[in-house]
Amino acid sequence: MNGLTSNPWHDFGDVLIPLFITTRAYDGEVQFLVTEIQSWFVDKYRLILTNLSRYDIVDFNKDAGVRCYPHITVGLRSHRDLGIDPARTPRNYTMLDFRLYIRDIFSLPPDSQGTPYKEANKKNETDGIDDGTEKQKPRLMLINRSGNRKFVNVPEISAAVQAAGFEVLVEEPSRDVRLEEFSRVVDSCDVLMGAHGAALTSFFFLRTGAAMLQVVPWGVDTAMRYFGVQAKEMMLQDVEYNIAAEEST
């Protein structure tokens, strides 16, 4: 559990998705024997880990006991970067299945509900509400990285997004974020916007039909491979803005 974990893209791509591929078909009847266990990782993703397995995680570096199992799988199955090949999974699981599984674990609204903006307007129309007050605006989460690929003009971006009719919520990613709370905030958004990078893995908490707006740095040509393909497979809208050389710092 070492390697590149602590970066959410690798948390999901190197551990959680392969773990889902390898063990989901057991319906919890599986125990995890983990080497180089990281307590922060277990704490952060406890909801997912305890849903995939009904049993305590074993720290295999410290375990001196003799354990007997009818079947053992050594290592995790992985298909591609942050992805699932349905033809190679026991029950033909897809990336859409994984996103809906994650949403279910975090008790987010069912897939039958539309994006927050559409749901709010639909409710007003159903209730016959038209009192002249301003309707709820679609909400956009702007993820601003603290290191490289950081937006240096957040106020200007926010103003432009607001001028386009959106409510803007600016977030800075942190390894210590409480996922239960953060997942609900992402779920309340119609658009997730950020520079190409690990924090865009928050798209697992978006609703079907919501949009991921990926700002692609100048010279980067892997945006579709690492996020765009996955967004489409999960029934999200993928929007890319490729910056020009003069827009780059």
16 and 88 share one domain: yes
Residues 159, 156: Cα–Cα separation, whole Å: 5
122 and 87 share one domain: no
Report pLDDT for 47.
Answer: 97
User: In this structure, is residue 102 part of a structural domain?
Assistant: no
For residues 60-89, give the mean pLDDT.
94
Q: Supply the CATH number for residue 196's domain.
A: 3.40.50.11460
Report pLDDT for 131.
Answer: 58
Q: Is 229 helix (H, G, I), strand (E, B) or coil?
A: helix
pLDDT value at 156 more than 90: yes
140 and 82 share one domain: no
pTM assigned to the model: 0.91
Specify the DSSP class assigned to residue 16: I
User: In this structure, is residue 111 part of a structural domain?
Assistant: no
What percentage of the chain reaches a pLDDT higher than 90?
76
48 and 147 share one domain: no
Amino acid at 176: D
User: In this structure, is residue 230 part of a structural domain?
Assistant: yes
Enclosing domain of residue 167: 116-128+135-247
Interior/surface letters 174-211, b for 16+ CB within 10 angstroms, e for the rest = eeebebeebbeebbbbbbbbbbbbbbbbbbbbbbbebb
Strand 191-195 with 167-171, pairing = unpaired
Summarised one tens digit per residue, pLDDT across range 165-218 is 999 999 988 888 899 999 999 999 999 999 998 999 999 999 999 999 999 988
For residues 112-137, give the mean pLDDT.
76
Residues 13, 216: Cα–Cα separation, whole Å: 20
For residues 134-141, give the mean pLDDT.
88
89 and 124 share one domain: no
User: In this structure, is residue 108 part of a structural domain?
Assistant: no
Domains held by the chain: number: 2
68 and 139 share one domain: no
User: In this structure, is residue 165 part of a structural domain?
Assistant: yes
Nearest to 208 by CA among 234, 179, 180, 185: 234
144 and 191 share one domain: yes
12 and 123 share one domain: no
For residues 140-146, give the mean pLDDT.
91
89 and 159 share one domain: no
120 and 243 share one domain: yes
82 and 139 share one domain: no
pLDDT class of 69 with cuts at 50, 70, 90? very high
For residues 52-71, give the mean pLDDT.
94
Residues 114, 111: Cα–Cα separation, whole Å: 7
Summarised one tens digit per residue, pLDDT across range 34-44 is 999 999 999 99
Residues 178, 149: Cα–Cα separation, whole Å: 23
